[in-house]
Structure 1
């Protein structure tokens, strides 16, 4: 159950962080305005709280593993929100990152 909870929290963190960064990008780079920027800042702040709910008590481990989730999530977000089409090297790299997440977070420890 902890693994499922942890994975769900990683997905929620990715939506908050990547979504927040995307909102700021839209507000500034696409000239959509301060409301978009403000919403992005709020989402980025929420990301910081989501990570604290991970069952593992080690900040470094959580953030290191989340880095892999961020890589894969960013590619997925780009596909959904911006029509980005990753090439095979993007996909391979994302899979390598997710394998790293699995090793860092879910390997048996004594």
Structure 2
């Protein structure tokens, strides 16, 4: 699988996970209707399915690499959806995590 398609899988998984978790957050913390749980659960199911498409022979490695993408996507959500600008520390931390994810995901492995 190529790097762009791998990135698309992880980006889609991140959007699905964050949206699903946000639905629960909105219900529990912001007083939204319990009906928010329906799309939330569906979104979390899509998230789990997408991670099974990640190009790794081991779930733990796929999840570890995904973690960096999730952190960066969470800060994008903070900015675009919640209208809060990430600060320099947020961006620095996310960059370090994405670099770590790239190392895990794209490092040459012995067969």
TM range (shorter): over 0.9
Superposed CA RMSD: 1.1
What is aligned with 1:81? 81
Higher helix share: 1
Structure 1: distance between partners of 2:56 and 2:5: 11
What is aligned with 1:58? 58
- The structural deviation recorded for 1:56 is 1.7
* TM-score, length of structure 2 as denominator length: 0.92
* TM-score, length of structure 1 as denominator length: 0.93
Question: 1:24·1:38 contact (CA, 8 Å) conserved in 2?
Answer: no
Q: Secondary structure at the match of 2:81?
A: helix
Q: How many residues align?
A: 110
State whether structure 2 residue 40 is matched by structure 1 residue 40. yes
Question: 2:13·2:47 contact (CA, 8 Å) conserved in 1?
Answer: yes
State whether structure 2 residue 76 is matched by structure 1 residue 71. no
Structure 2: distance between partners of 1:101 and 1:87: 21
Q: Show structure 2 runs of 5+ residues with no match.
A: none
Q: Show structure 1 runs of 5+ residues with no match.
A: none
What is aligned with 1:31? 31
- Which contiguous aligned blocks of 4+ residues in structure 1 show a shift greater than 4 angstroms? none
Structure 1: distance between partners of 2:87 and 2:15: 22
Structure 1: distance between partners of 2:23 and 2:35: 9
